[in-house]
Protein backbone atom coordinates (compact mmCIF):
# COMPACT_ATOMS: atom_id res chain seq x y z
CA UNK A 1 0.00 0.00 0.00
CA UNK A 2 1.24 3.41 -0.92
CA UNK A 3 1.37 5.98 1.75
CA UNK A 4 -0.41 9.17 0.71
CA UNK A 5 1.12 12.45 1.65
CA UNK A 6 -1.04 15.40 2.48
CA UNK A 7 -0.72 18.68 0.63
CA UNK A 8 0.89 20.25 3.67
CA UNK A 9 3.53 17.58 3.72
CA UNK A 10 4.42 17.99 0.06
CA UNK A 11 4.61 21.78 0.08
CA UNK A 12 6.94 23.74 2.21
CA UNK A 13 5.16 25.56 4.98
CA UNK A 14 5.48 29.33 4.90
CA UNK A 15 7.31 30.85 7.80
CA UNK A 16 6.65 34.46 6.80
CA UNK A 17 3.75 36.18 8.47
CA UNK A 18 1.25 37.79 6.16
CA UNK A 19 -0.45 41.00 7.11
CA UNK A 20 -3.08 42.96 5.25
CA UNK A 21 -3.81 46.55 6.06
CA UNK A 22 -6.72 48.59 4.82
CA UNK A 23 -7.64 52.21 5.24
CA UNK A 24 -11.12 53.55 4.76
CA UNK A 25 -12.51 57.04 5.06
CA UNK A 26 -15.70 58.74 4.04
CA UNK A 27 -16.22 62.27 2.94
CA UNK A 28 -14.86 64.47 0.20
CA UNK A 29 -11.46 65.11 1.78
CA UNK A 30 -9.03 62.35 2.84
CA UNK A 31 -7.38 62.46 6.27
CA UNK A 32 -4.29 64.70 6.62
CA UNK A 33 -1.88 61.77 6.61
CA UNK A 34 -3.15 60.61 3.22
CA UNK A 35 -3.10 64.18 1.87
CA UNK A 36 0.54 64.40 2.95
CA UNK A 37 1.31 61.19 1.07
CA UNK A 38 -0.35 62.64 -2.04
CA UNK A 39 1.83 65.75 -1.69
CA UNK A 40 4.94 63.56 -1.37
CA UNK A 41 4.08 61.87 -4.66
CA UNK A 42 2.91 65.00 -6.49
CA UNK A 43 3.57 68.40 -4.92
CA UNK A 44 0.41 70.53 -4.72
CA UNK A 45 -1.88 67.52 -5.09
CA UNK A 46 -3.45 68.01 -1.65
CA UNK A 47 -4.36 71.60 -2.54
CA UNK A 48 -6.04 70.40 -5.73
CA UNK A 49 -8.01 67.75 -3.80
CA UNK A 50 -9.20 70.31 -1.24
CA UNK A 51 -10.06 72.82 -4.00
CA UNK A 52 -12.03 70.12 -5.81
CA UNK A 53 -14.00 69.31 -2.63
CA UNK A 54 -14.73 73.01 -2.05
CA UNK A 55 -15.87 73.50 -5.66
CA UNK A 56 -18.06 70.40 -5.48
CA UNK A 57 -19.70 71.59 -2.24
CA UNK A 58 -20.34 75.03 -3.76
CA UNK A 59 -21.89 73.44 -6.85
CA UNK A 60 -24.11 71.22 -4.69
CA UNK A 61 -25.33 74.27 -2.73
CA UNK A 62 -26.12 76.14 -5.97
CA UNK A 63 -28.09 73.16 -7.31
CA UNK A 64 -30.07 72.91 -4.04
CA UNK A 65 -30.88 76.63 -4.10
CA UNK A 66 -31.95 76.41 -7.75
CA UNK A 67 -34.16 73.41 -6.96
CA UNK A 68 -35.82 75.21 -4.05
CA UNK A 69 -36.45 78.33 -6.14
CA UNK A 70 -37.89 76.24 -8.97
CA UNK A 71 -40.21 74.33 -6.60
CA UNK A 72 -41.37 77.61 -5.05
CA UNK A 73 -42.08 79.09 -8.49
CA UNK A 74 -43.99 75.95 -9.48
CA UNK A 75 -46.15 76.18 -6.35
CA UNK A 76 -46.84 79.90 -6.92
CA UNK A 77 -47.77 79.36 -10.57
CA UNK A 78 -50.08 76.51 -9.57
CA UNK A 79 -51.80 78.77 -7.05
CA UNK A 80 -52.16 81.63 -9.53
CA UNK A 81 -53.49 79.49 -12.37
CA UNK A 82 -55.80 77.58 -10.03
CA UNK A 83 -57.19 80.87 -8.75
CA UNK A 84 -57.66 82.19 -12.30
CA UNK A 85 -59.46 79.02 -13.40
CA UNK A 86 -61.71 79.15 -10.32
CA UNK A 87 -62.58 82.82 -10.81
CA UNK A 88 -63.19 82.27 -14.54
CA UNK A 89 -65.53 79.39 -13.74
CA UNK A 90 -67.46 81.43 -11.16
CA UNK A 91 -67.75 84.40 -13.53
CA UNK A 92 -68.86 82.10 -16.36
CA UNK A 93 -71.55 80.62 -14.10
CA UNK A 94 -72.68 84.11 -13.10
CA UNK A 95 -72.83 85.21 -16.74
CA UNK A 96 -74.85 82.12 -17.69
CA UNK A 97 -77.26 82.65 -14.78
CA UNK A 98 -77.80 86.33 -15.66
CA UNK A 99 -78.53 85.44 -19.29
CA UNK A 100 -81.31 82.98 -18.51
CA UNK A 101 -79.53 79.69 -17.84
CA UNK A 102 -79.91 79.68 -14.07
CA UNK A 103 -79.47 75.92 -13.62
CA UNK A 104 -76.39 75.74 -15.84
CA UNK A 105 -75.00 78.91 -14.27
CA UNK A 106 -75.53 77.53 -10.77
CA UNK A 107 -73.80 74.25 -11.65
CA UNK A 108 -70.86 76.00 -13.31
CA UNK A 109 -70.48 78.52 -10.46
CA UNK A 110 -70.78 75.82 -7.80
CA UNK A 111 -68.13 73.76 -9.59
CA UNK A 112 -65.79 76.76 -9.52
CA UNK A 113 -66.33 77.33 -5.80
CA UNK A 114 -65.86 73.63 -5.02
CA UNK A 115 -62.66 73.61 -7.10
CA UNK A 116 -61.24 76.60 -5.21
CA UNK A 117 -62.13 75.15 -1.81
CA UNK A 118 -60.70 71.75 -2.74
CA UNK A 119 -57.45 73.30 -3.99
CA UNK A 120 -57.18 75.40 -0.83
CA UNK A 121 -57.76 72.43 1.49
CA UNK A 122 -55.45 70.05 -0.40
CA UNK A 123 -52.76 72.75 -0.54
CA UNK A 124 -52.94 73.17 3.23
CA UNK A 125 -52.85 69.43 3.95
CA UNK A 126 -49.87 68.78 1.62
CA UNK A 127 -47.74 71.31 3.56
CA UNK A 128 -48.02 69.26 6.77
Q: Which residues contact 76 (CB under 8 A, 6 or more apart)?
A: none
**Which residues, 6 or more positions from 111, have their beta carbon under 8 angstroms from its beta carbon?**
89, 93
* Per-domain residue ranges of the chain: 30-126
Average pLDDT (57-82) is: 91
Q: Are 85 and 115 in contact (CB under 8 A)?
A: yes
Share of the chain above pLDDT 70, in %: 84
pLDDT of residue 36 exceeding 90, the answer is: yes
Q: pLDDT tens digit string along 12-25?
A: 556 777 888 887 88
Q: Residue 13 to residues 8, 19, 90: CA-CA distances in angstroms? A: 7, 17, 93
102 SS3 class: helix
pTM of the model: 0.57
Q: Is the pLDDT of residue 6 over 60?
A: no
Backbone CA torsion sign across 62, 67, 70, 72: negative
Amino acid sequence: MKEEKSILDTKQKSKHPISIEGIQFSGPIPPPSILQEYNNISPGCADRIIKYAEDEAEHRRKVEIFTLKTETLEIRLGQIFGFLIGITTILSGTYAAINGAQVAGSLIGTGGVIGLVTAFISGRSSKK
